[in-house]
Structure 1
Amino acid sequence: MLLTPYLRRRPRTARSEPPPRPRDGGRTVRRGRRATALVLAAVAALGAAAPPAPGPEGIGDRLFPQLGNPGYDVLGYDIALDYSGHNDRPLPAVTTVTARATATLDHVNLDFARGTVSSVTVGGLPARFARRGEDLVVTPAVPVPAGAPLRIVVHHTSDPRGGADGGWIRTPDGLAMANQADAAHRVFPCNDHPSDKAYVTFHLTAPRGVTAVAGGVPVPGGDDGPRPTRTFRSVHPVATELAQVSFGKSAVLTRRGPHGLPVRDVVPASARAAMAPWLARTPAQIAWMERRVGRFPFPLYGLLIADTRTGFELETQTLSLFEKGLFTEDHRPSWYVESVMVHELAHQWFGDSVSPRSWSDLWLNEAHATWYEALYAEEKGGRGQAALADRMRQAYTESDGWRADGGPPARPKRPVAGQKISIFRPIVYDGSALVLYALRQKIGPAAFDRLERAWVVRHRDGNASTADFTALASEISGHDLSGFLHAWLYDRRTPPMPGHPQWKSRHVT
């Protein structure tokens, strides 16, 4: 995520490991009983008065303790959404969650906050359900043993009328998704934490004349009738915060990127001509990134241009979300707009393919996206943009203040109440890119470049932490960097910059 330019504090003209994941969550059912005990339990569950459902749970993320749910690992989501053509009405939906139980479960929590649930089945059998805070608590007819497959089908609505706290965003002619940091569960039931990535399939039904697109690869078929259903399937695992769906009066523009990579852009039909020159630059930007970090990690890419003001741009996987105004407000130089495009593009490697293990590892996403944004701006900006070293020197000047305001890079302060995206403070952007600059000064450009390439290969399609980054940096450089990086990532004051002992940060009391 990159805050919209006119909202960002910019001097730029222009795994801390999470707590151990609970394995039972208080859900363990005693074993060793005869099979009749399970039958009696099922009868009691369906016929007798049910005890109160357990309350909300979470995996204990330091920044979002109620997000995620223990006891299972999601393998895939299959989500059907039926859009009426009106963006102020709930969408009928069916979400199927395929998972594996990691503990014996007598109940299962899903994150779900906005919509009405009409029925739930587990393993094909009707299950009880109750809403507890922002959790949907499901009690299966028969407890699910540890290691067993888990299939939950939820019939529900998905309500886009929820306001400004994420999930669906309404455009003049439709809808799009903005799920970062904790808003996917405002669209569909899920295990809403980036540590539990899964494959995602969307089935999108809409009136003919409405363009329906999702992240992932389009599946042929489904174009018949007045309300066609189009299917899109990810071929790499996706964090819930990175899912994307768009309904609207949109044009879909296609072209080819490096080595034949499909590039698919979704833009307001009325702005097609105005957007085309900007979108034509994406293939060269992908090639620029590939020269630095290796092959693009997904089978396609593109931009979703939304005619709205969200306050940010967002790296939704394979289909990054951008505000239309970034491209149509003519006071911004071309190199700057392109550098913002590169920021979200870089996230496809750093944040999407390699996702954070906890939200405290967010700096790994934003430091790298800011780093490549700055390198691109230095190369393309000419005299209108400060060199990378100048930008980092300015960041160093502000760094102590950013740490005081938002915490050190790898231990950010918790979000402001009611403002979940307030974790996206300056310290995770230039303040964290400064850590990468210090590391490159310490180990040299050649080792740093090897580290960047090794990072996205070793952790591709997975999750990685601050500790993982420190370990790999030490391995690649041949030196123990744990003390050096700990100071840069966790200390209240900014350490001295290698090679620039004269740099000073403004004193903060």
Structure 2
Amino acid sequence: MLATPRRRVRALLLTAASAALVAATLPGPRALGVGDRLYPLLGNPGYDVLSYDIALAYPGANDRPMEAVTTVDARTTRRLDRVNLDFTHGTVRSVEVNGAPASFATAEEDLVIEPDRALARGSRLRITVAHTSDPRGPAGAGGWVRTRDGLVMANQADAAHRVFPCNDHPSDKAYLTFRVTAPGSVTVVAGGRRTGLVREEDGARTWTYRSAHPMATELAQVAIGDLAVVERKGPHGLPVRDVVPAADREALEPRLAGTPDQIAWMERRVGGYPFETYGVLVADTRTGFELETQTLSLFERSLLTSEALPSWYVDSIMVHELAHQWFGNSVTPRMWSDLWLSEGHATWYEALYAEEHGGPPLTERMRRAYRLSDGWRAAGGPPARPDPPAPGRQLGIFRPVVYDGSALVLYALRQTVGAAAFERLERAWLSVHRDATADSADFARLASRVTGRDLDAFFDGWLHAPRTPPMPGHPDWRSDVPGQGPSAAADRAALPGGAAPGNSG
């Protein structure tokens, strides 16, 4: 039945009055989190994001904000009167929820949205936010990173919400689409694959990229600038595309040409590459780290052009980030305390590759790590229960204990169960949890099931104890007592391959 104008006005007034009454009973807007012990206000409860569509308008310079529209498609997991998104360092112009304007406020680094009516559990949810995305900011803050002639992203661990509104926690993976409009002289590349032709209009071009697999927000990547895209084939016809400063294309080619062989090397150990494409993104900037952004790993130009570093070392760092595509990207740690599952595995395969290509023997690296391990645990906590980062130092969780200290856990596990069982576990881990999230308890349970052994005591000691357990097969190995042995910081610097945050964001 079609209501008369008078009835429709009366109904609208009643709806508005009801909404005002509900709003009056709600507590004030506040920042929320998903219970991560290391980043308590990261992520938001009550919904599961299915996909993001992020449209950006790059003005041709990296010294002013971009206009942007982010659309979040999600499903509620409980009744919601409000919806929180992580977002900071940008201006919100407007918000719509399921096509209707919604009021919004900010609380710390949360955008708090109040739809015109409560959202029932299990309902579809579309949030459209018109906002700015600002590349200006202090160095090292994360999010957009300015390069010599453009921008790249470095969102780990908690900086994607400096770029676009999102549920910025690895436990909520989703599909991402980026639509970037930029001047015609600029090249834009993002994670995933380009969809269709580049659209041109009024001297500008719009580039669209979409991921074929879900990803954590910290793994998103967009590169903008005077870039060359070098395409080649990897194993089984895998599309490989490297993105480099145009001026460095020829100089970098000898280094990047080895990527297909590195992919094949990883596949022989853990199984098929898990995504639709891979490549190396070389940025002319200073970040202090390399980063495993999904399908397009980020590297500093200085690492790949250095003549002072041994070739095996540089290649092993490239394998570290490549290994993350399996460990960290395809199978993503559910909470940041599970970071060892990502960094420990990447360091493990980095060390194996180094051993086979002119670097130090794995046993030598692990013995040195064992000697330092008690100091690392004392300084930053055990591998699966790292200490929280200091205020203002969000990357502080990327400590030696989650790199070589966690590869040491894998070495001890292989010593305990044998090389064949260990390899079966690695492949099973990637198969069972592909495109999903998992935690330390999941890994321990699967290890016991695959090996047919009760490994609870092993993982309790190696992952959670304040002191390092004895190394199976090496009763002579000793770990320095903190404060009594050599300087851990100085000795750590000598570790082959490095386990400092420079390995991986």
Q: Quick one: which amino acid aligns to residue 133 of structure 2?
A: S
Aligned with 1:191 (options 163, 167, 192): 167
Q: CA deviation at 1:363?
A: 0.2
| Residue number in structure 1 paired with 2:65 | 90
C-alpha distance in 1, partners of 2:385/2:268?
32
Q: Say if 2:36 is the partner of 1:58.
A: no
Instruction: Give the secondary structure class of the aligned counterpart of 2:267.
Output: helix
| Residue number in structure 1 paired with 2:266 | 289
C-alpha distance in 1, partners of 2:450/2:301?
41
Q: Quick one: which amino acid aligns to residue 153 of structure 2?
A: M
TM-score between the two structures when normalised by the length of structure 1 = 0.91
Q: Quick one: which amino acid aligns to residue 394 of structure 2?
A: K
Query: Cα 1:386–1:139, aligned 2, differ >3 Å: closer, same or farther?
Result: same
Q: CA deviation at 1:328?
A: 1.3
Give yes or no for contact 2:29–2:106 (8 Å, CA) kept in 1.
Answer: no
Query: Cα 1:270–1:105, aligned 2, differ >3 Å: closer, same or farther?
Result: same
| Residue number in structure 2 paired with 1:425 | 399
Q: How does 1:175-190 map to 2 (within 5 A)?
A: 175-190=151-166
Instruction: Give the secondary structure class of the aligned counterpart of 2:385.
Output: coil
Instruction: Give the secondary structure class of the aligned counterpart of 2:199.
Output: coil
Give yes or no for contact 1:326–1:337 (8 Å, CA) kept in 2.
Answer: yes
Instruction: Give the secondary structure class of the aligned counterpart of 1:389.
Output: helix
C-alpha distance in 1, partners of 2:20/2:243?
47
Q: Say if 2:444 is the partner of 1:467.
A: no
Instruction: Give the secondary structure class of the aligned counterpart of 2:319.
Output: helix
Give yes or no for contact 1:160–1:168 (8 Å, CA) kept in 2.
Answer: yes
C-alpha distance in 2, partners of 1:260/1:478?
37
Instruction: Give the secondary structure class of the aligned counterpart of 1:206.
Output: strand
| Residue number in structure 1 paired with 2:147 | 171
C-alpha distance in 2, partners of 1:37/1:147?
27
> Per-residue displacement from partner, 1:65-95 (whole Å, max 9, x unpaired)?
0000011000000000110111011010000
Instruction: Give the secondary structure class of the aligned counterpart of 1:228.
Output: strand
Query: Cα 1:484–1:108, aligned 2, differ >3 Å: closer, same or farther?
Result: same
Q: CA deviation at 1:487?
A: 0.2
| Residue number in structure 2 paired with 1:252 | 229
Q: Quick one: which amino acid aligns to residue 482 of structure 1?
A: D
Q: How does 1:115-134 map to 2 (within 5 A)?
A: 115-134=90-109
* More displaced stretch, 218-227 vs 80-89: 218-227
| Residue number in structure 2 paired with 1:7 | none
C-alpha distance in 1, partners of 2:96/2:367?
57
C-alpha distance in 2, partners of 1:480/1:49?
53
Give yes or no for contact 1:91–1:158 (8 Å, CA) kept in 2.
Answer: yes
Instruction: Give the secondary structure class of the aligned counterpart of 1:64.
Output: coil
> Per-residue displacement from partner, 1:204-229 (whole Å, max 9, x unpaired)?
10000101111011101233231111
| Residue number in structure 2 paired with 1:32 | none
Aligned with 2:76 (options 83, 101, 109): 101
| Residue number in structure 2 paired with 1:439 | 413
> Per-residue displacement from partner, 1:221-243 (whole Å, max 9, x unpaired)?
23323111111000100100000
Q: How does 1:157-236 map to 2 (within 5 A)?
A: 157-163=132-138, 164-225=140-201, 226-236=203-213
Query: Cα 1:39–1:282, aligned 2, differ >3 Å: closer, same or farther?
Result: farther
| Residue number in structure 2 paired with 1:277 | 254
| Residue number in structure 2 paired with 1:150 | 125
Q: Quick one: which amino acid aligns to residue 63 of structure 2?
A: D
| Residue number in structure 1 paired with 2:319 | 342
C-alpha distance in 1, partners of 2:18/2:242?
53
Instruction: Give the secondary structure class of the aligned counterpart of 1:110.
Output: strand
Q: CA deviation at 1:441?
A: 0.2
Instruction: Give the secondary structure class of the aligned counterpart of 1:313.
Output: coil
C-alpha distance in 1, partners of 2:419/2:115?
55
Aligned with 2:348 (options 367, 371, 378): 371
Aligned with 2:238 (options 261, 280, 286): 261
Give yes or no for contact 1:177–1:243 (8 Å, CA) kept in 2.
Answer: yes
Q: Quick one: which amino acid aligns to residue 350 of structure 2?
A: E
Q: May I ask how many residue pairs the two structures share in their alignment? A: 471
Q: Say if 2:480 is the partner of 1:503.
A: no
| Residue number in structure 1 paired with 2:498 | none
Give yes or no for contact 1:165–1:419 (8 Å, CA) kept in 2.
Answer: no
C-alpha distance in 1, partners of 2:22/2:449?
59
C-alpha distance in 2, partners of 1:53/1:63?
25
Instruction: Give the secondary structure class of the aligned counterpart of 2:339.
Output: helix
Give yes or no for contact 2:381–2:466 (8 Å, CA) kept in 1.
Answer: yes
Give yes or no for contact 1:53–1:137 (8 Å, CA) kept in 2.
Answer: no
Give yes or no for contact 1:46–1:141 (8 Å, CA) kept in 2.
Answer: no
Instruction: Give the secondary structure class of the aligned counterpart of 1:99.
Output: strand
Q: CA RMSD in A?
A: 1.6
Q: CA deviation at 1:142?
A: 1.3
C-alpha distance in 2, partners of 1:508/1:418?
26
Instruction: Give the secondary structure class of the aligned counterpart of 2:96.
Output: strand
Q: Which ranges of structure 1 fall in alignment gaps of 5 or more residues?
A: 1-35
Q: Which protein has greater RCO, CA pairs closer than 8 Å, 6+ apart?
A: 1
Q: Say if 2:362 is the partner of 1:395.
A: no
Q: Quick one: which amino acid aligns to residue 321 of structure 1?
A: L
Instruction: Give the secondary structure class of the aligned counterpart of 2:478.
Output: coil
Q: Say if 2:333 is the partner of 1:359.
A: no
> Per-residue displacement from partner, 1:132-166 (whole Å, max 9, x unpaired)?
11000000011110000000000000011121210
Q: CA deviation at 1:411?
A: 0.1
Q: CA deviation at 1:53?
A: 3.9
TM-score between the two structures when normalised by the length of structure 2 = 0.91
C-alpha distance in 2, partners of 1:496/1:295?
34
C-alpha distance in 2, partners of 1:379/1:494?
28
Q: Quick one: which amino acid aligns to residue 399 of structure 2?
A: R
| Residue number in structure 1 paired with 2:493 | none
| Residue number in structure 2 paired with 1:80 | 55
Instruction: Give the secondary structure class of the aligned counterpart of 1:440.
Output: helix
C-alpha distance in 1, partners of 2:14/2:355?
70
C-alpha distance in 2, partners of 1:177/1:215?
11
C-alpha distance in 2, partners of 1:37/1:208?
51
> Per-residue displacement from partner, 1:400-432 (whole Å, max 9, x unpaired)?
000001100000000121111110000000000
Residue identity over aligned pairs, in percent, reads: 66
Query: Cα 1:357–1:169, aligned 2, differ >3 Å: closer, same or farther?
Result: same
C-alpha distance in 2, partners of 1:134/1:37?
37
C-alpha distance in 2, partners of 1:498/1:47?
66
